[in-house]
Amino acid sequence: MAASTRGTVLKKRRLSLAALRESTTAQGLALIAPTALYLLVFMIVPMILVGILSLMTRGPYGNVVYRLNFDNYTRLIDPLYLRILMYSIGVGAATTLITLVIGYPLAYYIARVPARQRNVLLFLILVPFWTNFIIRIYAWIMILRTEGLLNSFLLNLGLIKVPLDILYTPTAVLIGMVYEFLPFMILPLYTSLEKIENAQLEAAADLGARPLASFLRITFPLSLPGITAGSILTFIPAMGMFVVPDLMGGAKTILIGNLVRNQFLTARDWPFGAASSMLLMFLTLAMTLYYTRKVGFSEDLLV
Amino acid sequence: MSEKKPSAWLRLFSALVYLYIYLPIVLLVIFSFNKQKLNVSWEGFTLSWYQELFRNQQILLAIRNSLTIALVSTIVATIIGTLAALALQRYRFPGYTLTESTLYIPVIIPEVVMGISLLVFFSLIGVRLGLGTITLSHIAFSIPFVALVVRARLHGFDKSIEEAAMDLGANELTTFWRVTLPTILPGVLSGALLALTLSLDDYVITYFTAGPGSTTLPLRIFSMVRFAVTPEVNALSTIWVATVFLVLLIGQMVQNRQR
């Protein structure tokens, strides 16, 4: 008796679960709901608010007056801000190019060594990547400052007579940026290079291609998705970065990230800061779309 | 790839890049044991900076804040993000493409944009900035990373094991706890590890959402190194690098054993 009741209960539960299993749409929605809601409240709504704020007016005391106004965007065409924008793009591009030139041969090398060694080499790339990034900047401050390790080393060797002023210059900013973003370039490059089948290269060699020709016509084109992913992952954060310029560039280096930060926290012109932030966001989205459409982009390179 | 041996030039170049990556870190570690406060030259071995570090109340408070935020945000983001990964990998529902592309936004947009959006949001709704707002923000940027990592690991998941479990009489919940979760656990753990690291590492978004008394470790380090070099930061960095190294090494060893 008891057993048979239990049996019917089980059967009933099975049935209702079967019904639930049938409606996979409801299940899917239930699983995605927390993420969708969370990102709606803490990402989408805040961004919309910034968009609205960028069309408002700054009040006399740094407060926000809710009066429609497009001046915040026209102000961005001012030569002063255009120069900041061009400089940010320049720093982003230089960082991307240097990390690519350094990272590509290294990724190529890692992809060609035996598997055991490869794991060690990848591990060594990951360690600094997982280490705090302010600590990494600090290491370079220690080395580059006027009384720093590089200068005392060169002075002791007698190679220079006066200490070099490297810290708080644009060069220092580039050194810091390249160091920060190198792993972001190497990892996607490695992922795409590692996928290339040896058979393809052998076939090319069998058909008489010299190493250079087979690199240019097989390896390089096949690594383009990695170059795209690496460039996006380097260029965009480099362009919006304000911590490296703050710590290593002194007051002279102002990137668009610094501009946004300053408008919000120092100048207290929130509407203009919001407009600069919108510009930065549109720039990054436009570039991402352009690059991914042009070269193709595979999402597994990101993670 | 592999097979053909890399040339000597390539080998030399790679060695130099590794030197470039590690020399600053090695110097950082060495000089944490240096007697000289200004860190200009080596003067002798000492552990006093480590002692000073653990007596520095501001740093201890920052460590406590950072760990609290990281722990809470990692747990919440891992749960929510894993559910999202399951949803995206296995189900089709209205708004699929929209949610999928929304997940990429925090990966792609500059942090400063997200930071000021959250600052604007919190001040418009009148929430006092502090540990709470930092934690809410960290959860927001961690969810997408967890979802992407877990989803990547779900690609190879064999659904027939679950069906087998249910045929043998296990209900949905039991199947999830005893079959699905153990199988995707490595992915969930690496997602959690990523979320933890992102939270402990974050400067920019924390900077915009922090209030008085909620200084985290990166904020504290930033203000310490802004104008001066101090061996206390070297000591702190050494502990940090060593911890990261150990955690990654253990992770690597676990992964190797599973293979």
**Mean of the per-residue pLDDT values for chain B?**
88
Residue of higher predicted confidence among A92 and B164: A92
Rounded distance, CA B199 to CA B196, Å?
Answer: 5
Look at residues A237, A297, A271, A303 and name the one whose alpha carbon lies nearest to residue B151. A303
Residues 203-242, chain A, touching B (beta carbon < 8 A): 232, 236-237, 239-242
Q: Is B36 helix (H, G, I), strand (E, B) or coil?
A: coil
Rg, C-alpha atoms of chain A: 27
Nearest chain B residue (CA) to A301: B152
Place of tokens 């006027």: A146
Which chain A residues are within 8 Å of B113, Cβ to Cβ? 47, 50, 240, 260, 277, 280-281, 284
Domain residue ranges of chain A, discontinuous segments joined by +: 2-53, 78-301
Establish, for the pair of chains A and B, how many residue pairs have beta carbons separated by less than 8 Å: 274
Can you give the pLDDT at residue B160?
Answer: 76
Q: Is A53 helix (H, G, I), strand (E, B) or coil?
A: helix
**CB of A108 within 8 Å of any CB in chain B?**
yes
Q: By the 8 A CB rule, do B122 and B209 touch?
A: yes
Tell me the per-residue pLDDT of A102-140, one tens digit each, with 9 for 90 and over. 999 999 999 988 888 898 999 899 888 788 889 999 999
> B230 burial class (0-12, 13-18, 19+ CB within 10 angstroms)?
middle
Q: Which two tokens stand for residue A209?
A: 């291609």
Domain residue ranges of chain B, discontinuous segments joined by +: 70-228
Domain B70-228: state its class: mainly alpha
SS3 content of chain A, % helix, strand, coil (to 5): 80, 0, 20
In order, the DSSP letters of B198-223 are HHHH--HHHHHH--TT---HHHHHHH
pLDDT over 50 (residue A177): yes
**CB of B231 within 8 Å of any CB in chain A?**
no
Superfamily per CATH, domain A78-301: MetI-like (1.10.3720.10)
In order, the DSSP letters of A79-101 are HHHHHHHHHHHHHHHHHHHHHHH
Q: Do A284 and B148 touch (CB under 8 A)?
A: no
In order, the DSSP letters of A158-190 are TS-SS----TTSHHHHHHHHHHHHHHHHHHHHH
**CB of B200 within 8 Å of any CB in chain A?**
yes
Tell me the per-residue pLDDT of A239-298, one tens digit each, with 9 for 90 and over. 889 999 989 987 677 899 999 999 998 888 999 999 999 999 998 888 888 877 776 555
